Structure 1
Amino acid sequence: MLSEQSAATVRATLPVVGAAIGQITERFYDGLFAARPELLRDLFNRGNQAAGTQRQALAGSVAAFATHLVEHPDTRPDAMLTRIAHKHASLGIAPEQYALVHEHLFAAIVEVLGEAVTDEVAAAWDEVYWLMANALIAIEKRLYDEQGGPSWRLWEVTERVQETPDVVTFRLRPLDGAPVRDFRPGQYVSVRTALSDGARQIRQYSLSGAPGTSERRISVKRVPGGTTPQGEMSNHLHARVHERSVLELSEPYGDLVLDEVPDSTPVLLASAGIGVTPMIPMLAHLAATGHPAPVTVVHADRSPADHALRADHETYAAKLPAAAVHLWYEQDAPTGAHTGRADLTGVTVHPGTRAYLCGPLPFMRAVRAQLIEKGVSPADVHYEVFGPDLWLAGA
């Protein structure tokens, strides 16, 4: 791990670098895109760049990695690295791109911190960067090896279903008719398509169908603001993609997955809004395997009319021998559902529960806190953040 000399330097300079990391990442992206504009056009999410969330996520990951190295020198934050590596693999990131990032990141550090970046400081943070980069490269290589290498494949839309006013489901089949790799419940694919200005933007969407089929199913929520980079892909898919349209999809990736759960292990699936999408294949898998232990389904939404995939939620839960469904709606809650935001106070959480969360950050933070209060081990609470991981960034 980090050498003793570099660890001392990083520990001493971490407060200064941490205080300036937001400014550093802003300068980094400005420099990178000035030198390589095609990366913003065809690789990086323009919506996240416009909103500043990607800068926040990068700053949070670098600071968290450096802090871990000096506080826990004998271990590595593999959970964080694996999450990042899955996202990178879904985008097709190549090892040589890390040298490009290094060039512009360290130029930004020198620009922001000036004379404070002595040779000793530069060497120490260089070591931090390459420890993180090489760890990611190794994990990404393993992921690529499992999938047969980074690849994009053409898929044809076979059906379009309007789930709610703001959510559309697309069913897709491979255009080449070749066999399809199965996915693990909870994984996502990257979707790449050309927008009206010629940019080939990429977004990740959870696979919302049941595993074990030759099709892919994604459910896309339209994000307001389609005339700006924020929401441009979802608005494009809603407006322009119909049956017989063709999209490019990556292989499945993502580390929020429902691994084989022992029959005696209770499971809790908590979602809000479009966060329901990875929960449906998890619930479908539990139903298909007849999971005998208690399964608790928690979902919160604006109204029943906004609850995408609600029929799947109810159908799969009904197939389980010991399932309990708890629904919260901010308005128009029917009999049996709750009005307001999700609150686990009255929900039975069984000992030994393994929990999976997906939804807005405030929702996941609140649910996680209540689960821990009810005795769930923090190690057994797993989550998925759509977009840049701002939980890590402290947002």
Structure 2
Amino acid sequence: MARIELFTPKFKKGHWTVKKEKLYFEEDGSEEVHGPFERDFEAITKLLNGMYNLSELFLALEKKSIQFSFTRVLSFLEHLVNLGLIENGNEYLDYYAKLQSGAAEHSSSHQELTEAYFTKDRIKAFIQKTCLVPEGDSEVLNKLVKYARLVHSQPGDTLIAQGSEGKEFCVLMSGKLGVYREEYGQRKYITELNPVCVFGESPAISGKKRNAEVSSLHSSWVLAIRIRDLMDPSQAEEFAEIKSLRTRLIINQILNCSPLFKNVPSEILSRFLNKSGVLSHEASENVLLEGDFGDIFYVILDGHVEVKLKDHKISELKKGDFFGEMGILSGGQRSATVKTLSRCHLLIIRAEDLKELLSASFYLAFNLEEEAQRRILENTEQRHNLGVPLDDANTITDTSFSDYDFDDLDFSSISIADISGISDIED
């Protein structure tokens, strides 16, 4: 089934307005009536100005923080179909019924949920939407359910206190949570958490104190899991699997801190991990060579690399930064050499798998393009002064990651068994 963003409206590029409950297109003194539309959609229809597809519309709604009901937007789009304003309208009408059914299934108030709702099978379904379980690994899934406890919190309740010992990591299954940090005697709002997501994993792994508070904004249901229960040394045969869980939690935190994965659903993040592998490089090794053709995308898990164009050092990339996307997106040659400055662990994913994920997640595609363009613009002047072409590497800045010893981590559960053509490049 196609994604909603793939349907193409026949909107004209110009100025749209809502007057007397009808949608107007005003250009060259003419008016075209495409209604009726309810007044509640005025904020949405104003965003049609200059838009060509639904992904742009939904992005605009998100960027402007406009509150909207998913089911009502579907009704709005159905009306566009009936007016002949969506090119693949017949396909959409078939799609609409399935979307409406799915929306109705998830429209029940979280406040109405009870403990009885969270059966073992439902809890498993929630966990499988996260990064916690390698694809098809029922043993790890069953162990997570075995050691999890269900927590119900009301608005204002504190789930995690800043400064407390990190013994558990959590999975938010329903509701909404707020993250706060006390700085200089003032309680500062940081962000909100929405289902389904993993949080609190860093202190649970490292044993360090919590650096933030997590409190309920709505009635919420959370799974709390003691990682040390899972890592009981007496269960020696399970230790390797739990190390894999620990590894996935750490990588999940790095990716979640990255703007590249902002607004990306946890299911997509989990699929990204399941399709990824890990490469280790010693210091002073070439990862990419300028002029080569490449089909691998890289995210730095730890270590530092330098980007060189025509033997000129352009930038350094660190933990959480990515590179290699320009060659994949353009299908062309690598326009930069990337060389390690220290021992590095790199999360890698093949072009075909990345493109599949980009087609499945509008936000991942948008974030990748936006971050690439941002870095290109930032470095244009420097490259121009050096007389070298645009580079193939883009950095993500303003990230905060805990320090982990990646040499101690087990990457087996996220390795790609059949990666071909991926190897260390000799200097």
Q: Same fold (TM over 0.5)?
A: no
Given the two structures, how large is their TM-score scaled by the length of structure 2?
0.29
**Which protein is richer in helix relative to its size?**
1
Structure number, greater radius of gyration: 2
